Chains A and B, each alone.
Chain A
Amino acid sequence: MKSYNLLFAVLLVLLGGCYPQGPEYTEEMDIVFTTYDEQYDFTSKSTYAMPDQIVVDVDIENGDTSFVYMDAKYAIPILNEIDENMLAYGWSKVAINENPDLLMMPAGLSSTTYFYGWWYDWWWGGWYPWWGWYYPPYYPVVGSYTTGTLMMVLADPNAAEDNPVKQTPITWLSASNGIFNYSYDVTRVTDAIEKSFAQSPYLNID
């Protein structure tokens, strides 16, 4: 009977090991989400304006607010990719003071998550007379991952007049999310921009 119990224990461990693992590479975690205002008539518009920098953070020091911008070596290819896609869909880029129909506003966000190697604690917990959850007598394993999101928003500045709180309504929003790896491969971001437009054919005014 003891050998059967051992067999049972081995089987359980093997079971844990054979659970499907899902994504193997960080690129496989990339997703692109878009949504739009179904009532908005994009075909009656033709021009857009876009800033030449991408905001990634806001610093507030002694009551003064200043923006933190993305490094130009990443921002320029991203902004170029947005322009290329807008151009391909028939839009003309104008300066902000030339009364654009829409404003394209890209922004970058990042967030780091820390986690504990809890499985390690659980595994070794079995060796102690008290079974279960406990804090180990050594520093736990800590890991982290950083996720990045590129937001793109198309807003109609002229529609603010018709808005009860005088805010510019968002007509289109894209959020591309992924996990950073150490190569900071900007093509993952430019690919995501391409996909954002590909899945938004209603932006095509050609």
Chain B
Amino acid sequence: MKKVLFIFSICLIASVYTFAQSNHFGMYYSIAFPTGDVGEYISKPSFRGVYFDFHKTINENVGIGLSTGWTVFYEEKAEDTYTIENNSLTGKQYRYSNHVPILASGVYYMQPDQTINPFAKLGIGTIYTRRNTDMGQYTYELEAWNFALAPEFGVQYSVGYESAVSLSLKYFAGFQAGNELDASQSYFAINFGFVY
């Protein structure tokens, strides 16, 4: 898998420099909804997220680039007792799940010349996850680097020359990995931002 990613990255970087026509940089505020293992750990949506991407268009419909960002899910659990074998611990639990995707991405613009321009994006790469369970002065930390795919559908609304506001729905699918956190780490995100 590492070899495939390496070759993919080389091709991507090469293509960016070979075919580049114009650059687009985007910044997005993100609201995220946990699914699967993340949702079982923290059920509440996150209003703390920000994403950035950078694309070079290789023709007017297609662009390739990189994207990254950060979402943190947080939940304060009411005081409870947690028992494992002959040990019991009572206290308030504070749960944090940080996710940092690092993706190479391709985007297809459906109506690049129109004011309203729907698009589809696919990101491939990794999601770094750090989960902290805090009780008292102690924290229990688990990390994972999941291979990830991130399909995204959205629309850009042109607000001037080479700039637009963007609204999209993205699914970050971090596949099962052999890390400390061995379950898949996935979530939906609604991204609202500005592209120029």
Contact = CB atoms under 8 A, between A and B. Distances in A.
A4 interface: yes
B92 A8 contact: no
Contacts of A28: 92
B88 A200 contact: yes
Contact of B136 (A8, A15, A20, A30): A30
Interface stretch (A32-40, A62-70, A135-143): A32-40
B88 A31 contact: no
Contacts of B70: 15
A38 B136 contact: no
**Which of under 10, 10 to 19, 20 to 34, or 35 or more describes the interface residues of A?**
20 to 34
Interface string A1-13: 0001001100100
A43 B92 CA distance: 31
Question: From DSSP, what is the main secondary structure of chain A's interface residues?
Answer: mixed
B96 A20 contact: yes
A34 B48 contact: no
Given A7-B27, A23-B92, A35-B86, A29 B136 contact: yes
A29 B91 CA distance: 7
A100 B51 CA distance: 65
Contacts of B25: 4
B90 interface: yes
Interface residues of B, number: 26
Interface in B51-101: 70, 72, 74, 76, 81, 83, 85-92, 94, 96
A15 B50 contact: yes
A119 B193 CA distance: 30
B87 A177 contact: no
Contacts of A195: 81, 90
Contacts of A22: 76, 94, 134
Interface in B10-25: 25
Contacts of B116: none
B137 A147 contact: yes
A33 B89 contact: yes
B70 to A, nearest CB: 7
B90 A32 contact: yes
Nearest to B81: A199
A15 B48 CA distance: 8
Nearest to B93: A31
A8 B72 CA distance: 19
Given A15-B70, A31-B136, A38 B86 contact: yes
B38 interface: no
Contacts of B27: 7-8, 11
A28 B135 CA distance: 9
B196 interface: yes
Nearest to B25: A4
B48 A32 contact: no
B30 to A, nearest CB: 11
Given A147-B137, A177-B136, A30 B87 contact: no
B48 A20 contact: yes
A22 B22 CA distance: 43
Contacts of A33: 87-90
28 contacts: A7-B27, A11-B50, A15-B70, A18-B48, A19-B48, A19-B72, A20-B74, A22-B76, A22-B94, A23-B92, A29-B136, A30-B91, A31-B136, A31-B138, A32-B89, A33-B88, A33-B90, A34-B87, A34-B88, A35-B87, A36-B86, A38-B86, A177-B136, A179-B137, A195-B81, A198-B81, A198-B90, A199-B81
